[in-house]
Every structure is written in structure tokens, then in C-alpha cells.
């Protein structure tokens, strides 16, 4: 987990298990500022617990009420393996299309120059004359 000093914004990589228990006092090695560090999962649960009771008193439709599971569990499934795989395939296809366009521009450069004469200077600039 990355912790940031609230005074000088120095970043510190702290193992997750260090903040599993109660909040801990941290001291910045650069500016000596002390602050209380908490586990983000515990913070999300405490925020939900604080909000859940007043929200239950309101007469809201079910779609607006808080879900019973902790916020961290709700956010855990945002990025799925299928989405990552599709993203990688999308990038690969984009690079392939750009590669094909570049190859076609080099392979048929004489036709391109004949159709669009100003492109001759661009080909000369990259050493393809």
C-alpha cells in the first residue's frame, strides 16, 4: 500500500499487513510529520457503518439504499479478467492496423507520391526517396 505524507507528499510503500490492526502512527522520514494511518478497507467499513443507520431511517426506494456488503467488496469486481483480455486484444489489433498502414505507405510510396506530391518531402525526410 502506498502511504503519502500529508505535509510534504513523500510516498512510502508499506506492506498491507502492517495496517491490518488498529490505526498506527506514522512519521515522515523527510519532514518528521506524524499522522495516523488506517487500512482503507477498515475505513470503508467504518464509513458505511456510520452512514447506514441514518440512511435506514429515511424512507428511500430500495435502489437508493446502501447495499449490505462493505464498499470494498462492491468495488472489488470492477475490473474483470475478460475486460483486461479484451483491452489487450484491442491494443494488439490497433497496433496491427497501424503497422499495416505504415507498411502500405512504404510499399506503395511511389503511388502515394504520384497521387499527393507534397508527400515526397515527407518520404525524403525519413530517407525513403
pLDDT at 2: 80
**What does the alpha-carbon distance between residue 110 and residue 67 come to, in Å, rounded to a whole number?**
64
Instruction: Tell me the pLDDT tens digit for each residue of 10-65.
Output: 888 888 777 777 788 889 888 999 988 877 665 555 666 666 666 666 666 655 55
The reported pTM is 0.37
**Residue ranges with strand state E in the chain:** 2-4, 11-13, 24-27, 34-37
pLDDT at 108 over 90: yes
pLDDT at 3 over 90: no
What's the CA dihedral at 118, 120, 122, 127 to 10 degrees?
A: -170
Amino acid at each position: 500500500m502506498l502511504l503519502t505524507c500529508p505535509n510534504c507528499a513523500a510516498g512510502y510503500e508499506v506492506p498491507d499487513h502492517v495496517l491490518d490492526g488498529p490505526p498506527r502512527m506514522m512519521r515522515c522520514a523527510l519532514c518528521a510529520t506524524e499522522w495516523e494511518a488506517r487500512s482503507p478497507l477498515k475505513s470503508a467499513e467504518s464509513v458505511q457503518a456510520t452512514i447506514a443507520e441514518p440512511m435506514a431511517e429515511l424512507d428511500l426506494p430500495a435502489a437508493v439504499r446502501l447495499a449490505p456488503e462493505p464498499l470494498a467488496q462492491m468495488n472489488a469486481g470492477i475490473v474483470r479478467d475478460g475486460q483486461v483480455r479484451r483491452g489487450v486484444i484491442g491494443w494488439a489489433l490497433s497496433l496491427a492496423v497501424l503497422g499495416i498502414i505504415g507498411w502500405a505507405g512504404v510499399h506503395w510510396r511511389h503511388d502515394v507520391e504520384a497521387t499527393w506530391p507534397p508527400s515526397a518531402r515527407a518520404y525524403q525526410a525519413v530517407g525513403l526517396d
